[in-house]
Amino acid sequence: MTTTSRMQSDTRSATGLASRTLGLVYGTVVYAIFFGTFLYAIGFITGLIVPKTVNSGEAVPPLYALVVNLALMSLFAVQHSGMARRGFKRVLTQLVSPVIERSTYVLCSSLVLIALFTFWQPIPTVVWQIENPAVALAVRCLSALGWLIVLYSTFLISHFELFGLKQVVLNFIGRAVPEAHFKTPGLYRVIRHPIYLGFIIAFWATPMMTAGHLLFAAVTTAYIFVGIALEERDLVATFGEQYRQYKARVAMLVPGIF
């Protein structure tokens, strides 16, 4: 090898290492932002620890609050579903490396959620309130169970890949991300969407339901069903008959019911 060729090879190697390192740093920072946002979401819904919750803040005219909150949830729905579609991914990977495509999606979702938490307007009218302390505690435990189902279910299907970290780590060490294979571990053997079930439980199980919290729970639940339809369309396109058979055999959210 000539000196010039060796220098060019060293330059490419250094450039490749720098690119992989930047990707790793980017993906790690994005994961940290996501996980902080996820923890804040728990506090936002449950009203625990965090400074701004679904019920806190100065009350504004209900119509104004309704318009603002619907706009915020619509923004999240469009971003979250739109960026998850195969067509959008093809466009995005022409602009950024495929290695950080998932991290970029996770970052955008986290930023939109942060905006929702920040600008959410409370509607404090109480729809129901559980006065019995034991029953209220049981409902709070049910909500906690919902959040645990969400987190546990992500680990069943590769938590770190779902949120973009696995891709940048494998790229950094020079390994390719394995191709997606259809699998149904744990809860996925009895329901197709345990993550969404966990969210529904977490959003609705509250000892005090205000009109603002009800709006959040109702709209996000409706969005979940839309998201399931879009997601399953993509899963059928990816896995074909294998997913069709799984869909026919396993309930969507509640075993033996639907």
pLDDT digits (tens, 9 = 90+) for 166-184: 999 999 998 888 887 888 9
pTM: 0.90
What integer pLDDT is reported at residue 147 of this predicted model? 98
What integer pLDDT is reported at residue 177 of this predicted model? 80
What integer pLDDT is reported at residue 88 of this predicted model? 87
103-135 residue pLDDT tens:
999 999 999 999 999 999 999 999 999 999 999
Dihedral sign for Cα 195, 198, 202, 203, please: positive
Is beta strand 208-210 parallel, antiparallel or unpaired with respect to 126-129?
antiparallel
In this structure, is residue 32 part of a structural domain? yes
Q: How far apart are CA 254 and CA 31, in angstroms?
A: 30
Q: How far apart are CA 43 and CA 113, in angstroms?
A: 13
Neighbour tally for 84: CB within 10 Å: 15
In this structure, is residue 258 part of a structural domain? no
Query: Which parts of the chain register pLDDT below 70?
Result: 1-15
Range of the domain at 163: 3-249
In this structure, is residue 117 part of a structural domain? yes
How far is the first Cα of the chain from the last one, in angstroms, to the nearest whole number?
66
Closest to 86 (Cα-Cα) out of 108, 105, 112 = 105
In this structure, is residue 257 part of a structural domain? no
Confirm if 226 and 138 have CB atoms less than 8 A apart. Answer: no
How many structural domains are present in the chain? 1
In this structure, is residue 231 part of a structural domain? yes
In this structure, is residue 224 part of a structural domain? yes
In this structure, is residue 256 part of a structural domain? no
What integer pLDDT is reported at residue 167 of this predicted model? 94
What integer pLDDT is reported at residue 12 of this predicted model? 52
The single-letter code of the amino acid at 98 is: P
In this structure, is residue 123 part of a structural domain? yes
